Amino acid sequence: MNPIKKDPLDGLNPSQVEAVKHFTGPLLILAGAGAGKTRVITHRIAYLIEGLGVMPYEILALTFTNKAAGEMRDRAERIIGDNARKVTLATFHSFCNHLLRREIRSLKEYSENFSIYDDADARRCVKEILKELDRPMTGSHAPARIVDAISRSKNFATSPSALLSSFDPLAEEIDEIFKRYEARLVENNAMDFDNLLGKTLELLDGCAETRDRYRRRYQFILVDEYQDTNRVQYELLRRLCPPDGNITVVGDADQSIYGWRGADIGNMTSFERDFNNVAVVSLEQNYRSKQNILDAANALIAHNAGPREKRLWSALGPGDPVMFHLAWDDSSEAQFIVDEAGHLLDEGYRLEDIAVLFRTRAQSRPLEDAFIRAGLPYLIIGATEFYKRKEIKDAIAYLRVVDNPRDMVAFARIANEPKRGLGPKSLEKIESAAREAGSLIGISEDAAAASKQFPAKAAPLIGALRRLHGLRGSVPVPELVRAVLEDTGYYSYVERMDKQEGVSRAENLEEFFKLAHEYAKEASKPTLEGFLSKVSLVSDSDVADGDESRARMLTLHSAKGLEFPVVFIVGLEEGMLPHGNALGDADGDREERRLCYVGATRAKELLYLSACKGRMTRGVACNNDISRFIMEIGPDRFKMLEGARGGARPGESFFDTAPGGGSDEAVERSPAIRLGGADADDFSREPVDDDYSTPRRASSKKSAASRRGFDSDRFDGVDEEIVREKCGFRAGDKVEHKVFGTGRVVSFKGDEICVAFENIGIKRLSARYAPLVKID
């Protein structure tokens, strides 16, 4: 028994109450940024159950990310307790995945243990097909591009060639490649992300009985981020809900930023057309940001043509003006942010209050450098690398083959990992044998032994896979996972790998086992398929959270739905934001503007925008104009900020007006350039080199960044002597730092070494990892 913890109508404004209390029939909620969208959905779920007597299992709530789904469930649970768990609350993809696993019989060519293919798997398929067709795989025929074209065509529900210019050399062949790709998926009993949606639609269309069953089951449907639905998702909603059904969609056309992926804002207007008597509620009061921030955001978005459905307002007061800083180059832009962050910390903000938003992932690098140098811990959201790690992908591939022995993409990945002497030639033979036998484990031992064609070296692997496949269902998932990796020899192979490499990989595998345990604990009916689905459908932004005291770094896209007291948006330059690929295209331009709008509206108290006159892109210097978005917001809305080292003035050109001093100065500030330059040798000593040459994605707890930056706190109290011994420095030593120049060692504290640098001042650095060299 769970008492109502809270009245679902408590603390809502009149529009929100109207949205929450709406009972039957379609409802369209136009919710501006920060207007309490998630709040309305969760409270509506609560009210339907507690106030209107709807059964929890009759409710289907769909989101785009696992994170949003989880958050919604948490919040609903806080209002109504355990009943919230019985609501079907899922992403579109995971909902479809579940439906398919249950109903797949209706699609004869698939069985319920189908694999889910990610982009990399899809590319591999395309590559094989190109090889088959003897076509090139470069330029216009790059597998990634083809996969992209195929995916877009599915999202737009059209043929791939229809979306290509007729001049595209690919246009002629793409449909054929597409056909073979689909056939290959079927052969492998696999679905790509798009097919999870598409096949579900197909299934519901092909079987009225199933469709009606789901319609009866889900009397109430709620859709979050409705503006991001694509054609297929829209059609799915129409299958699941009759025209006068109880469907509530919540969206904001101004936050539509996934048009490139097939999201169709047209679905907002289609909704009123295709569903009957649609009620509309508009939420305009913003509970997140100070008015100055909203004014800037409103001014920006006003430049997108079309009627303004709403104008955000806030009762939180004007707040500080939005700030703008023009930096010399990307590293001084990053330095500006670090300096500013320092001030903010002095003022009482915490690191986790601060978010730095950028357009492209590549922009994180200089920021990371600056944060590392300053010893400020940060977290890159969305760079989960965990599931992209080789050992994890291998482990998943093993499991996939065991679960679905038709999955030849997974098999190709692991056949020779560890080395079993199975090269491409052997692989081909195994594949054709598998095709003949129906699946890998269908290859009979006798037939294989009899055939001179069949590589004998493959027999043990196939045997192990067959045996493990048989254990499916009778052995608990975590044990099965371990058995798969141990019995195939993969685990010991990883363990035996040389030194650090092997250790961190084995650690990651242990982490993976832990995931399996967690899954088994929380799933009502754990299965290998369930576990695989789970790991296949996690998105990058799902993991990153936690209340760790770190600044956040993330793309504008992954910022949607989040909020932070302080937001920096960097790189407001033509070609960057708006991005070069969107220039010259009116739709693209508008979407870029919305992207910037989304970023700006993430800020609660302080919003900083910055641009730089020049930046390094792909190792090449280039200079950009200040983004049109800055002009559109209007100069009088900004407080202009100078950086510690002086900002550049508008109109001044970066690399060409200052060929001598100017660019040299810039080069000196950029560690990346120095590293590649002549004095790289100076830093080739092991710990030093390691620190700066290894990839610096900070998402992993084991990254160099995290070790130096903050974990050091935990070593407080470590004997000073040990530290001294470890790093070989003593107080008074003159040292040189790759970035900070020369200085003198002042003292030690825990794992940290304090150094007084000539121009910079005293810095606390990690004794073990700081790139310090003793000089005479």
Partner DNA sequence: CTTCATTAGCTTTTT
Partner DNA sequence: GCTAATGAAG
Which positions lie near DNA, rule CB under 7 A? Answer: 64-66, 91-93, 118-120, 127, 137-139, 142, 144, 148, 151, 193-194, 257, 260-261, 359-362, 382, 416, 419-426, 455, 537, 539-542, 555, 557-558, 579-582, 588, 618-619, 672-673, 675-676, 693, 695
Beta strand 279-283 with 27-31 is parallel
Least separation in angstroms between residue 579's CB and DNA is 5
What phi and psi, each to the nearest 5 degrees, are found at residue 736? -120, 135
CA–CA gap between residue 46 and residue 87 (Å, rounded): 10
How far apart are CB 265 and DNA at their closest, in Å? 15
Cβ-based neighbours of 437, under 8 Å, separated by 6 or more: 443, 444, 447
Q: Pick between residue 492 and residue 657 the one whose CB is nearest to DNA.
A: 492
Q: Which is nearer to DNA, 250 or 537 (CB)?
A: 537
Start-to-end CA distance of the chain, whole Å, equals 74
In this complex, which beta carbon is closest to DNA, that of residue 124 or of residue 737?
124
Given the residues 6, 7, 18, 38, the one annotated as active site: 38
Alpha-carbon dihedral 485, 491, 492, 498, rounded to 10 degrees: 160
Task: Respond yes or no: is residue 225 known to be catalytic.
Answer: yes
Helix axes 231-240, 193-206, angle to 10 degrees: 40
CA distance 472 to 657: 68
| Cα 139 from chain centroid (whole Å) | 26
* Under 8 Å between Cβ of 214 and 204: yes
The residue annotated as part of the active site, out of 58, 224, 369, 752, is 224
Q: Smallest distance, Å, CB 670 to DNA? A: 9
Amino acid at 376: L
- Residue 224 falls in the annotated catalytic set: yes
DSSP codes, 546-580 = S--S-EEEEEHHHHTT--EEEEEE---BTBBTTBG
The question of whether 18 is a catalytic residue gets the answer no
Provide, rounded to whole angstroms, the least separation between the CB of residue 258 and DNA.
Answer: 7
d(CA 393, CA 220): 38
Catalytic residue among 103, 192, 225, 529: 225
Q: Which is nearer to DNA, 252 or 542 (CB)?
A: 542
Active site residue 602: yes
551, 351 Cβ separation under 8 angstroms:
yes
Q: In the bound complex, what is the minimum distance in angstroms from residue 718's beta carbon to DNA?
A: 31
Residue 63 annotated to the active site: no
SS3 for 469?
helix
DSSP class of residue 624 equals -
Q: Which of 63, 229, 255, 488 is catalytic?
A: 255
Helix (H) or strand (E) holding 37: helix 37-50
Q: Whose Cβ is closer to DNA: residue 116's or residue 770's?
A: 116
As measured in angstroms, the least distance from the Cβ of 479 to DNA is: 29
Active-site choice (231, 239, 593, 602): 602
If the CB atoms of residues 259 and 643 are measured against DNA, the closer one turns out to be: 259
The β-bridge partners of 748 are 753
Rank residues 353 and 369 by Cβ distance to DNA and give the closer one.
369
Question: Is 37 an active-site residue?
Answer: yes
Residue 544 burial (CB count, 10 A): 19
Task: List all residues 6 or more positions away from 765 whose beta carbon is below 8 Å from its beta carbon.
Answer: 375, 708, 737, 752, 753, 754, 755, 772
| CB 189 within 8 Å of CB 115 | yes
Helix (H) or strand (E) holding 606: strand 603-617
Beta bridge partners, 765, equal 753
Among candidate residues 513, 505, 508, 507, the one with its CA nearest the CA of residue 478: 513
Q: Give me the least distance between CB of 558 and DNA, in Å please.
A: 4
DSSP state of 475: B
Which of 128/605 has CB closer to DNA?
128
Active site residues: 37-38, 224-225, 255, 602
